[in-house]
Amino acid sequence: MSILLTGGTGYIGSHVAVAVAQLGHEIVLYDNLSNSDEAVVTQIAQIIGRPLTFIRGDIRDTQLLQLTLRAHGVAVVVHLAGLKAVGESLVSPLDYYGNNVQGTISLMQAMKAEGVRKIVFSSSATVYGQPKYLPLDEAHSLSATSPYGRSKIHIEELLRDVAVSDPSWSIACLRYFNPAGAHDTFLMGDNPKGTPNNLMPFIAQVAMGKRARLEVFGDDFETEDGTGLRDYIHIMDLAEGHAAALEFLGSSQGWHAINLGTGQPYSVLQMIRSFESVSGAAVPFEISARRPGDVAACYANANKAKSVLGWAAKRNLREICESTWRFQQTLAQRLK
């Protein structure tokens, strides 16, 4: 089957592309490269051992999407394209609604016109807002503390309305917790442009000596060591979760929201210690003020993914840190 991945050259998209290509599917990557590099296409081809199609395009370009869906006989779309920096979304909300929400409407219009009715959407645990209980299951109420988070809620809701209006649609909104780590080959991983917003790439860059120290955002949360608790999920597990979701869409209809997490939380200090122990490198840090909007703890109840998709995360924190470290070293070699 032919699968279109919007945002396919990004961190998560590239790993999903490899996982589904290795199941024998044809993959078409569609990305405007606003936050990724075309070199990823070569790395994917190297890993899967065959060439693939890359289209440089914007999801707001409905016409180009239609042409692409038609030309490649696309059966399913994995929709990962989007802007994802929480802080930036507070400064530029129109960019976030335009890119994420308007972009998704454009994609759905193109799919409708071309008769493609199956889509996996990259949602986020951020849609749960401030947790009312833990672990978070899919029945938890939705709220957001940023335009980024609200763009994800708007998209989930518009996708549900589409599924209600026409039962031939099959839609899975995968709510990712904290993706981290790198591919088993260490050829691909999280390599953000500019200063990393997320914890793991920041820790990795400090360990590599690219940055002097990590700022730990608050040590006065209601958690055992006072730092924030999160559910870090290995990127390979996350990619396999998408493969399971694609199979699920083959035999289901309607709209579904499914958490992709491990259910096992770790604190910021535990992440630092684990990374230091795996890498043997020091990660100097200092405690600073809480980051606005951060919650004390956020982790998944992952039962639905197990029962509906037959999927559960298999890899542990050590494997997350080890692959991140090995990827950083591969990257440094490549840049020499």
* Catalytic residue ranges: 148
Residue 172's SS3 state is strand
**Least distance in angstroms from the C-beta of 167 to ligand NAD:** 26
Report angle CA 14, 3, 303 to the nearest 5 degrees. Answer: 75
Q: Please, which residue, 95 or 215, has the CB nearer to ligand WQD? A: 215
Return the number of the residue (198 or 259) whose C-beta is nearest ligand NAD: 198
- Binding residue for ligand WQD (CB under 6 A) from 17, 78, 107, 216? 216
**By rule CB under 6 A, what string of x and - marks binding of each residue 63-92 to ligand WQD?**
---------------------x-x------
Instruction: Kindly report the backbone phi and psi dihedral angles of residue 136, in degrees, each rounded to the nearest multiple of 5, phi listed first.
Output: -80, 120
* CA separation for the pair 58, 7 (Å, rounded): 9
Residue with tokens 């991983």: 189
Selected from 3, 5, 13, 62, the binder of ligand NAD by CB under 6 A is 13
Per partner kind, with CB cut-offs from 5 to 8 A, the member of ligand NAD, ligand WQD, none near residue 285 is none
Q: Where do the H-state alpha helices sit in the chain?
A: 11-21, 39-48, 62-71, 86-91, 93-96, 103-114, 147-165, 199-207, 235-250, 268-279, 303-304, 317-335
Q: How many residues bind ligand NAD (CB under 6 A)?
A: 29
Q: Is 213 in the site for ligand WQD (CB under 6 A)?
A: no
Residues between 182 and 201 with contacts to ligand WQD, criterion CB under 6 A = 197-199
Q: Are 120 and 5 a contacting pair, CB within 8 Å?
A: no
Name 113's Cβ contacts closer than 8 Å, sequence gap at least 6: 66
Q: Is the Cβ–Cβ distance between 257 and 176 less than 8 Å?
A: no
Q: Confirm or reject binding of residue 126 to ligand WQD (CB under 6 A).
A: yes
Closer by beta carbon to ligand NAD, 196 or else 226 = 196
Spatial contact of 137 and 189, defined as CB atoms under 8 Å apart: no
- Choose one: 52-60, 236-244, 270-278, 291-299; the region binding ligand NAD (CB under 6 A): 52-60
Residue type at 132?
A: K
Minimum Å distance from CB 153 to ligand WQD? 12
Considering only 28, 206, 214, 272, the residue that binds ligand WQD (CB under 6 A) is: 214
Instruction: Give the separation between CA 162 and CA 147, rounded to whole angstroms.
Output: 22
Q: What share of the chain is helix, strand, coil (3-state, %, to 5)?
A: 45, 20, 40
Q: Does 294 help bind ligand WQD (rule: CB under 6 A)? A: yes
Q: Give the binding site for ligand NAD (CB under 6 A).
A: 6-7, 9-13, 31-36, 58-60, 80-84, 99, 103, 122, 124, 176, 178-179, 198
Q: Which residues sit at the interface with ligand WQD, rule CB under 6 A?
A: 84, 86, 124, 126, 178, 197-199, 202, 214-217, 228, 230, 268, 291, 294, 298
